[in-house]
Amino acid sequence: MENEVDNRLEPELRPDRTRVVRRVIFGLALVAAALVGALAGLLVVYSTDLPQVTDLERYRPSSITELYDQNGAVIGSFALQRRVIARYEDYPKVLRDAIISTEDKDFEKHLGIDPWRILGAAYRDLASGSRAQGASTLTMQLSRNLFLTADRKFGRKIQEIMLSIQIERRFTKEQIFTLYANQIFLGHGVYGFEAGSEFYFSKPAKDLTIEEAALLAGLPKAPSSYSPINNPEKALHRRNLVINNMMEDGRITAAQAQEAKSKPIVLHLQQDPNNVAPYFVEETRRLLEKKFGTDEVHEGGLRVYTTLDSGLQKVATRALLDGLAAYERRHGWKGHVPNVIAAGEDFTTYEHGDWLHKPEVGSYFHALVTKAGKNEAEIKIGKYTATIHPADMIWTQYKTPGEILATGDIVYVRVTAVDGEHHLQVALEQDSGAQGALVAIDNNTGEIRAMVGGRDFDESKFNRATQALRQTGSSFKPYVYSAAVEAGAMPDDTIVDAPISFPGANGVWAPHNYDNKYEGTISLRHALADSRNIPAIKLAQRVGIKTVIEYVHKFGITSEIQPYLPVALGSAEVTLLEHTAAYSTFPNDGVRLSPHYIRKVTDYDGHAMEQNIADVRDVISEHSARVMVELLRGVVLHGTGYAASKLNHPLGGKTGTTNDFTDAWFMGFSPSITCGVWVGYDEKKTLGAKETGAQAALPIWIEFMKAAIAAKPDEQFPEPPPDAAGKGKGEKTAASGDGESH
């Protein structure tokens, strides 16, 4: 009976169960549809403004614009992001292994995302109540760095995943890795592993060792925290963690890992190439930005082939600094050095701009006095220390450092030796504010071979070679003589060196010679060699001062010059660069080539964007140019430039000194190169008694020219005209003073 009852009830219960099952299935279907709809909605919302990954086919990140000297050495760079773009094959296997083991173990297997890694990270985030756990693959990091922001919002993560999947579908693993390796930030303004290798180790990535590769691979997670410069202990721990990851993944052996971990972090930080010729590099930057725009120069990765000779540039810098130091010593210790404590600055955190440079023997630095004792003073130059002893300051005529130095003083020193890793030997020097500049130009091409625009670029960016307008003194006289020679004058023509006066609206102008003496009838050769003022004025009067000024402008001087006779003695103001380029006309047979910095500019792929050819202009005749070379050789052989004759080389030139000794010049040339030197203060103040061009500027010129002519022992000037040579060569004035306008 019971079975019968059950059998009778079963048909009645069966429809209810079926209805329940159907309702459950229907409900689940609704939930699934809602989820699918929501997900689809989210995908639509977050993909609305999604970038197109196809743009990556044409993408090239901003990279460094590099400047090369005439021999192909890097002398400077410009960049918003310090990046060197490399190819996949430029990254060695050890670096690829280190990166993949640390950042994305399954990079070569997944399709852009790692679901298990994402779920694991999400679980840990929930458990810890934070968002600290990362789960990004290399592809996700790439998509975030290229297209998205760094925030951790849900929407951004969805976009990151979608972009990563698209990137994986369109690009190979090698392409993705290369894009990532060129894009990632590694601290200190460095982007990409090639630039990172060059910055931290001064070598290309292909030469990295295991421990070096591991150090770089550990940086992307937190470049600031793991910086080997700022946080070496944390960097070491992170590096060793990367090495362990590589060992666990079987990419290196246990023995290799142990050996790599046992090594200390050894950095060889890349020296700033802009330090070689900072004034030249800055002038080049201005020219490039004017032609190509700021963005292209700082982001376009241009290749700029300049005219600079790095070897001569270093000689020029050293010659100028040594010349200024000699000037300072001639005038004794002035004191009045700045003191950081008196200025209210933090003594413990003080840094000077030139401390970024590596000390070398013969280099000059501003140093902080950290302790001034009676018999010695301890100083600091960045991470380097030194001690000043009485023997290091004999020229000051003080017996001990304690007499003139105090803790907190900023003193100027010359490095005489580098002892060990962080200790120096130095000599006390002085920086009273005296400045100088030097320019050297190749006669045959107009290419600028060297340029120094001041004592210290870190203290003053003002370029005294190109921006300072200064009176030329007697170095202006060759333009007067050129106009006279063009009118038919010859070296052995005579002129009367005697008192002369000129009435004017402001009274009578009565010029005089430097020594206040007059020599009567003398040759033009002798008048220029001894820099007699009266003959120069009479020549200017004879040919006409307006004619002289016309010739000056033909020589390339652009300054506006008033047509007054005092101009003949150098009252006109010019830049050193224009003055030097003008003088190069004499050894170049009367032809002036426009001075220029750049030979060629290419884009990153090597396509030429610009190729410079000097502008050529006839200034004076070949005959006149050779006569002028003969006259200017006389200045060196037996005139105010006689000190240069010890070089035993064909040379010509002219000294120049302005009133009250405010400007000292020497402008001179060999058959192949023309060099101009200026010394003075930025403000119009005297250098001191008898600080003439021969005293202050000529020694600097001589030191530079020693190097400039060293490889050209057999060069000669073209033969002078028969009626210009021969006479007067036995004269030897070698005046103790510089016969300049005064």
Query: Which residue in 474, 523, 531, 571 is the catalytic one?
Result: 474
Give 86's DSSP letter.
-
Residue with tokens 């990270």: 121
In whole angstroms, give the CA distance from residue 575 to residue 470.
Answer: 6
- Using alpha carbons, list the distances in angstroms from residue 116 to 106, 123, 249, 475: 11, 10, 18, 80
Query: Which residue in 77, 101, 103, 475 is the catalytic one?
Result: 103
CB 466 within 8 A of CB 558: no
In whole angstroms, give the CA distance from residue 160 to residue 178.
Answer: 19
What is the signed CA dihedral for 720, 724, 730, 736, rounded to 10 degrees?
-100
- Using alpha carbons, list the distances in angstroms from residue 575 to 387, 479, 635: 40, 15, 22
In whole angstroms, give the CA distance from residue 190 to residue 194.
Answer: 9
Query: Helix 477-486 vs helix 545-554: angle between axes, to the nearest 10 degrees?
Result: 100
In whole angstroms, give the CA distance from residue 530 to residue 724.
Answer: 18
Q: Furthest-apart CA pair in the chain: how many Å? A: 160
The torsion angles phi and psi of 34, rounded to 5 degrees, stand at -65, -45
Is the CA virtual torsion 320, 321, 324, 325 positive or negative?
negative
Is-catalytic flag, 519? no
In whole angstroms, give the CA distance from residue 28 to residue 21.
Answer: 11
Give 229's DSSP letter.
T
- The H or E element containing residue 364 is strand 364-372
Residues 6+ apart with CB under 8 A from 470: 573, 574, 575, 576, 658, 663, 678, 680
Give me the amino acid identity at 503. Answer: P
Is-catalytic flag, 474? yes
- Using alpha carbons, list the distances in angstroms from residue 547 to 389, 557, 566, 588, 620: 59, 14, 14, 22, 13
CB 644 within 8 A of CB 701: yes
Nearest by Cα to 186 from 154, 244, 225, 153: 225
Q: Active-site residues: which are they?
A: 103, 474
